[in-house]
């Protein structure tokens, strides 16, 4: 589990296709404290560390993960920056919201504009995930815990403050970029409960 609070910006320094995609990611983490087999959120994708070095770690990404994430849009290239977060430990502060690292779909940035000191981003969401996105609810985008400001049909918006842009890859984002979306687990359960209740009401008629 993760919290959606990015703690480092990593950089892809090697990529290799070995059936699955293998990547080496450069990081500022103290790698002596990262065990082989540890979970690492990379742009919101929960991946397993399979090798470490003094300033890097290696991960493998399955073909299914590539297909379900923004990687299919060739976002993972040599030199690309990634939001990183280490797995949550018991006793850690939960500063964002609970994030599993299991990407539900991909959104696209369709608009950006400055609002005071913040930047308003508008995204188009996949049709099957729109019902899980609600105003003032939480989403994880490229591993960043964010609050939804408004929802209009298939689009939704969030505001990014300057600090977030400085400590994550949001400072590099632009219109047309594709990002990993993980919906809030609570939203999933509420939607499912509503479906069950609706079905029960119909069956009682």
**CA separation for the pair 20, 194 (Å, rounded):** 38
pLDDT number for residue 200: 58
Q: Provide Rg for the chain, Cα atoms.
A: 18
Q: Catalogue all structural domains in the chain, each as residue range(s) with its CATH number.
A: 8-86 (2.40.30.20), 105-192 (2.40.30.20)
| Strand pairing class (118-124; 56-61) | unpaired
Residue 126 backbone dihedrals phi, psi, to 5 degrees: -60, 145
pLDDT number for residue 201: 59
* H runs (alpha helix) in 49-184: 63-68, 162-167
Instruction: State whether the Cα torsion 140-144-145-146 is positive or negative.
Output: negative
pLDDT number for residue 18: 80
**CA separation for the pair 189, 125 (Å, rounded):** 19
> CA angle, corner 109, sides to 107 and 114, nearest 5?
140
Strands across the sheet containing 138-141:
144-147, 138-141, 178-183, 105-115, 118-124, 155-160, 150-152
Collapsed DSSP state (helix, strand, coil) of residue 135: coil
CB contact burial 131-163 (16+ within 10 A = b; e otherwise): ebbbeebbbbbbbbbbebeebeeebbbbbbeee
**Mean pLDDT of each 10-residue bin along the chain, 205 residues long:** 96 93 98 97 98 98 96 97 93 83 97 96 95 93 97 95 97 97 82 65 57
pLDDT number for residue 185: 79
pLDDT number for residue 178: 98
């Amino acid at each position: 589990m993760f919290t959606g609070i990015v703690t480092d910006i990593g950089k892809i320094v090697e990529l290799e296709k070995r059936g699955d995609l293998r990547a080496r990611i450069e990081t500022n983490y103290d790698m002596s404290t990262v065990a082989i087999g540890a979970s690492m959120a990379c742009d919101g994708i929960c991946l397993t560390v399979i090798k470490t070095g003094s300033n890097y770690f290696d991960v493998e990404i399955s073909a299914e993960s590539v297909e379900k994430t923004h990687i299919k849009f060739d976002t993972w290239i040599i030199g690309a920056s990634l939001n990183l977060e280490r797995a949550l430990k018991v006793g850690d502060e939960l500063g964002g919201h609970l994030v599993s690292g299991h990407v539900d779909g991909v959104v696209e940035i369709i608009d950006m504009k400055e609002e005071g000191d913040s930047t308003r981003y508008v995204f188009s969401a996949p049709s099957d995930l729109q019902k899980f996105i609600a105003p003032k609810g939480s989403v994880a985008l490229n591993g960043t815990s964010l609050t939804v400001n408004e929802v209009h049909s298939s689009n939704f918006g969030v505001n990014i403050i300057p600090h977030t842009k400085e400590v994550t890859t949001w400072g590099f984002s632009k219109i047309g970029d594709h990002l990993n979306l993980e919906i809030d687990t609570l939203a999933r359960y509420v939607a499912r409960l509503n479906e069950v209740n609706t079905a029960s009401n119909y069956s009682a008629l």
